[in-house]
A = this chain, B = another copy of it.
């Protein structure tokens, strides 16, 4: 409670950020298993128990690491749309693509939030939606105002789009997308991240026009 408290804290924070950075690297390289208190500590040059002076425990440490990831993701998504015209569907699509890119480039951050053993579900602010949700929502509302999206509850549309992209990413992170689409031959020349984005591109038509057949095209095939 003394006056010099602020300055004193500021200096010591270096240790805290060093711990966070080490944790971040371990997580990105080897996943949650590789992020052990002892591994983090040895990388920083401390004993494992010293970490408990800065973080409540492993869960707290991981939370803080992941939080940092979200902050980056928000910036990532803003950057993706900044040069595209407001109200355009291109903006909405670019946002989806950015989400995919970020997720696949930061698998471990991403997995943790949706994979972690949480007894209670996490608050929305702790989730990639944090920045993402609000950015997307703004784009959707603008697109509605511009007459590019049918006028309905914007939150339903946002969740619709978010679910679509998030589902695609999550599925492709768990299965081998290449194998999954082997029979189809669609996007044959692509793989990994590009395949996911290629498939996302093919979703655009469905999102825009829906699954319903065009009017006046006759009743489909030979049924």
Contact = CB atoms under 8 A, between A and B. Distances in A.
B174 A155 contact: no
Interface in A170-220: 170-176, 179-181, 183-184, 186, 199, 202-203, 205-214, 218-220
B116 A206 contact: no
A127 B172 CA distance: 11
Interface of A: 31-33, 87, 111, 113-118, 121-124, 127, 129, 133, 144-153, 155-157, 159-160, 162-168, 170-176, 179-181, 183-184, 186, 199, 202-203, 205-214, 218-223
- Identify the 10 closest CB pairs spanning chains A and B, nearest first: A167-B167, A115-B115, A147-B220, A210-B210, A163-B167, A145-B223, A166-B167, A147-B219, A155-B184, A163-B168
27 contacts: A87-B223, A114-B171, A114-B174, A115-B116, A121-B176, A123-B179, A144-B221, A147-B221, A147-B223, A149-B211, A149-B212, A149-B213, A156-B184, A156-B199, A159-B171, A163-B165, A163-B167, A164-B164, A164-B167, A166-B170, A166-B171, A167-B168, A167-B170, A170-B170, A206-B210, A208-B212, A210-B210
